[in-house]
Amino acid sequence: MVLLKNLRPPTEGVRHEQAETTAVMDGQKVGCGTLYVAETRLSWFDGSGMGFSLEYPTIGLHAISRDVSAYPQEHLYVMVNGKLGGENEAEMAEKGADDEDDASSNSSSGDDDDEEGAITEIRFVPSDKAALETMFSAMCECQALHPDPEDDDSDNDFEGEEYDVEEAGEEHGHADIPSFYTCDEGLSALTQEGQATLERLEGMLAQSVAQQYHMAGVRTGETNAEFEDGMEVDAAAMEAGQFEDADVDHW
């Protein structure tokens, strides 16, 4: 099995580090080293510069196994879509380093690994079994940071237009309309500038730790202007006033 030698442990965004962790790949013991659960990738290094890393989009599931009848030691089980090891691994790591967002295409070596359902089973066996829960939770958090960008279920899109607050209002009466207007309703009324600003604001929101609800409400042009979106706009935001109405004229 080929291990990569030119990767270094991540230094930023490391949610959890677990030393004295043995890595076992598809039943083969790789060595004892340190597991790094970082926001960008999951990696493991044996301390002498050898190791491997996994991109979260390629991870199908992870679990805590305490069933010693299935495997003699309690461990963190990780199932990776596709095959690691051999030629694939070098290619996958380079793709991982160069292009974080496209890690799911690791079948580029020519094998249709993903479609055939080939998987790699990795077990991380820490010497400290009590750490398993923390390791697991850290992985859950990091995995959630990497939602599937190729989700073919377009309902997950912000840009879905299925929910029209006006139609809902006419059918059910205004009392049932939530006072918060989601992006879906207002998006159709946004100009290109509005769209760009919305994206910028979303980006800012994503970075904001506090997650305070200062996002401007976006509404369709026809809705009653008296209806607050339920979320106050930060007075300090210079362009706050522009979002009280999504009217084109405001620009």
Partner 1 sequence: MESQQEPEHLPSGPTEVVNSIRERTIAENSMVVLLQGLQGQVTTVDLKNESTARGRVVNVDAFMNIRLDNVLYRDRRGQLTQLQDLFITGRNVRYVHIPDNVDIMKTIQSQLARIHRVRNFASHGGGRKEFATKTK
Residues that bind partner 1 (CB under 8 A): 56-57, 59-67, 70-71, 77, 81, 117, 119, 133, 136-137, 139-141, 143-144, 147-148, 150-151, 153, 155-156, 158, 160, 162-163, 174, 178-180, 182-184, 202, 205-206, 211, 213, 215, 226-228, 230-233, 235, 240, 244
Q: Report the residue number, 155 or 171, with the smaller CB distance to partner 1.
A: 155
Smallest separation, CB 14 to partner 1 (Å) = 17
Smallest separation, CB 235 to partner 1 (Å) = 7
Residue with tokens 């004295």: 20
Smallest separation, CB 33 to partner 1 (Å) = 23
Q: Report the residue number, 31 or 182, with the smaller CB distance to partner 1.
A: 182
Q: Report the residue number, 40 or 227, with the smaller CB distance to partner 1.
A: 227
Structural tokens at position 206 = 């994503």
User: Which is nearest to 37 in space by CA: 144, 148, 127, 150?
Assistant: 144
> How many angstroms separate the Cα of 27 from the Cα of each of 72, 77, 122, 124?
12, 12, 8, 11
Neighbours of 88 (CB within 10 A): 21
Please, is 70 exposed, middle or buried when counting C-beta atoms within 10 Å of its C-beta (0-12, 13-18, 19+)?
exposed
Is the separation of the CB atoms in 245 and 221 below 8 Å? yes
Q: Report the residue number, 11 or 211, with the smaller CB distance to partner 1.
A: 211
Q: What does the alpha-carbon distance between residue 180 and residue 41 come to, in Å, rounded to a whole number?
A: 36
> How many angstroms separate the Cα of 100 from the Cα of each of 68, 92, 160?
35, 10, 27
Smallest separation, CB 50 to partner 1 (Å) = 27
Smallest separation, CB 26 to partner 1 (Å) = 13
Q: Which amino acid is at 141?
A: E
Q: Report the residue number, 67 or 98, with the smaller CB distance to partner 1.
A: 67
Q: Report the residue number, 108 or 156, with the smaller CB distance to partner 1.
A: 156
Smallest separation, CB 140 to partner 1 (Å) = 5
Smallest separation, CB 62 to partner 1 (Å) = 5
Q: List helix spans (H) across 165-247.
A: 165-172, 183-187, 192-207
Q: Report the residue number, 28 or 175, with the smaller CB distance to partner 1.
A: 175
Q: What does the alpha-carbon distance between residue 45 and residue 34 come to, in Å, rounded to a whole number?
A: 5
